[in-house]
Structure 1
Amino acid sequence: MAERKPIESWLTDMDGVLIHEGVPIPGADAFIKKLRDSGKPFLVLTNNSIYTARDLQARLNRMGLDVPVDNIWTSALATAKFLDDQRPGGTAYVIGEAGLTTALHDIGYVLTDHAPDYVVLGETRTYSFEAMTKAVRLINGGARFICTNPDETGPSTEGPLPATGAVAALITKATGKQPYFAGKPNPLMMRTGLNAIGAHSETSAMIGDRMDTDVLAGLEAGMETFLVLTGLTTRADIDRHPFRPSNVVNSIADLVDRV
């Protein structure tokens, strides 16, 4: 394997890497501080489309993690960037929360249930049968199906919750139409994020806790990858996948000295 160039920019997942169930993971504060002091470009990424970047900044700040708004990249922002590139000034029927609706408003999209260009499915804690039925009928009527991320479950203090990917599967079953997923592991989310901070994949690293989204996305975007064992993937899980991370570490604390 060819030797990689030194890491000049960092992308890191949020849940399972920096925080876990609303509590910062030991070493996360030191890692973020080291990044900010170094002046290196960095992004905190999340496939969760519920919150705006400003919401997430406030949440992280309450936990002692000082991350500027411009250094937060969500699947909602990646979805909005994709739609703005594909069909500027379009229309969409949206199932989701403020993170997604705000991102679409900010690119000048009109949110409507009357013959929209797109049906856009994102994360919400209140998926309604009525909204899903409307989405099915609009897609059958010609609307293109877009989904913020493919995660089938999400974490909660009580255990896993059905997430966007699971609801997308229901709509696909009812329509026969597969969605286009904008979030991880689509390398589009990584490349648009890299572009946002002026970084290049050959000198960038991706840190994540999931093989099927974080590591795969980093790999397909051409970045060095670090798997941390503080989230969903265990060391035993690694060999179940046909690809491997560049590096495996116990936690984000092990990477402070790499910045």
Structure 2
Amino acid sequence: MIDNIQGLLLDLDGTLFHGGIMIPGADKLISGLRSKRIPFLFVTNNSSRTPANVAAHLSAMGIEAHEQEVCTSSLAAARYIAEESPGAAVAILGEEGLHRACEEEGLQIVTDSPQYVVQGIDRSFTYDSLTRAARWITGGAAFVLTNPDLMLPSDDGMMPGAGTLGAAIEAASGVKPVIIGKPHRHLMNYATSRLGIDPKDAIVVGDNMRTDIAAGVNAGCRTVLTLTGVTTKDNLEQYKEWTGVSPDFICNNLAELRNLLGV
């Protein structure tokens, strides 16, 4: 059992649910954390949904969740820009979650001459979008990418993610973006700041070695891998080799995770 837990950063898809189906024990895990008054946040690379949307999705599956408990890559990206340049002019290539996050941080959303181009998943992305973004960035605008996911699951199969669109913009502009989401540290640092704790006192829980666990390690957090999604017993060693990182703890399922956390 882990003692003196200051805060948990919980991944969502693959850790607490698969698509629209709750992973067994996810509801008991969250209720246990609440009863023990252990601080936690739901942390996701998803840039399209607002925190309210994410909380509603969890609640619909029977996992109690509230808007203020959700950290998205859009929120972290908007905060990153606002801290660097308060009130900056930003051009957004993204969806509702990213637009709302930038508005709430007091950023000025523009359609020409931006100081920043901030890009997430954008299912209305076009050749014109690519052209404008590349011209703005080569003209001096900073390039911020919410998350580097190349492919995402959908109801009818895999689809390109924000990282694939970002790769096209990078190729066209010749400029690498600042990447906010997992496996980079910015999203985890944003989440720990929300909890008011040092990253070394946080525990990252997730199913994906390449994103969740790597992000935890990069941010200086402790990590717990759940074998409930992307990473399995069969591919664990290969993922360790690919990422160059290892989790501090491994749980086969959420019942084992509850025991580890004492909830």
Question: Same fold judged by TM-score > 0.5?
Answer: yes
* 1:123 Cα deviation from its structure 2 partner: 1.3
Q: Tell me, which stretches of 5 or more residues in structure 1 are unaligned?
A: none
Contact map agreement 1:148 1:183 (CA 8 A) in 2? yes
Displaced runs of 4 or more, over 3 A: none
Contact map agreement 2:10 2:204 (CA 8 A) in 1? yes
Return the alpha-carbon distance in structure 2 between the equivalents of residues 84 and 221 of structure 1.
20
Q: Tell me, which stretches of 5 or more residues in structure 2 are unaligned?
A: none
Q: Which amino acid aligns with 1:33?
A: S
* 1:5 Cα deviation from its structure 2 partner: 6.1
- 1:253: which partner in 2? 255
Residue 206 of structure 1, aligned match among 200, 204, 207: 204
* 1:225 Cα deviation from its structure 2 partner: 0.9
Contact map agreement 1:154 1:160 (CA 8 A) in 2? yes
Identical-residue share of aligned pairs (%):
37
- 2:88: which partner in 1? 90
Contact map agreement 1:41 1:199 (CA 8 A) in 2? no
- 1:49: which partner in 2? 47
Contact map agreement 2:226 2:257 (CA 8 A) in 1? no
Return the alpha-carbon distance in structure 2 between the equivalents of residues 237 and 132 of structure 1.
36
> When the two structures are aligned, how many residues end up with a matched partner?
256
Alpha-carbon displacement from aligned partner over 1:102-141 (angstroms, at most 9, x marks no partner): 0000111111121100111111333222212211121122
* 1:202 Cα deviation from its structure 2 partner: 2.9
SS at match of 2:234: helix
With over 3 angstroms needed to count, the CA separation of the structure-2 counterparts of 1:202 and 1:143, relative to structure 1, is closer
Return the alpha-carbon distance in structure 2 between the equivalents of residues 128 and 256 of structure 1.
45
Alpha-carbon displacement from aligned partner over 1:82-102 (angstroms, at most 9, x marks no partner): 011100000111011110000
Q: Which amino acid aligns with 1:229?
A: L
SS at match of 1:193: helix
* Residue 76 (structure 2) pairs with residue 78 (structure 1): yes
* 1:7 Cα deviation from its structure 2 partner: 2.3
* Residue 225 (structure 2) pairs with residue 223 (structure 1): no
- 2:56: which partner in 1? 58
Return the alpha-carbon distance in structure 2 between the equivalents of residues 44 and 6 of structure 1.
20
Return the alpha-carbon distance in structure 1 between the equivalents of residues 154 and 233 of structure 2.
22
- 1:236: which partner in 2? 234
- Cα RMSD (Å): 1.5
Return the alpha-carbon distance in structure 2 between the equivalents of residues 49 and 204 of structure 1.
23
Return the alpha-carbon distance in structure 1 between the equivalents of residues 183 and 55 of structure 2.
23
* 1:204 Cα deviation from its structure 2 partner: 2.0
* 1:8 Cα deviation from its structure 2 partner: 2.8
- 2:161: which partner in 1? 163
Return the alpha-carbon distance in structure 1 between the equivalents of residues 3 and 38 of structure 2.
15
Q: TM-score, normalised by structure 2?
A: 0.92
- 1:180: which partner in 2? 178
SS at match of 2:71: strand
Contact map agreement 2:119 2:162 (CA 8 A) in 1? yes
Q: Which amino acid aligns with 1:245?
A: P
- 1:28: which partner in 2? 26
SS at match of 1:235: coil
Q: Which amino acid aligns with 1:254?
A: E
Q: Which amino acid aligns with 2:37?
A: G
Return the alpha-carbon distance in structure 1 between the equivalents of residues 65 and 168 of structure 2.
36
Q: Which amino acid aligns with 1:166?
A: T
Q: Which moved more, 1:245-254 or 1:114-123?
A: 245-254
Contact map agreement 1:76 1:100 (CA 8 A) in 2? yes
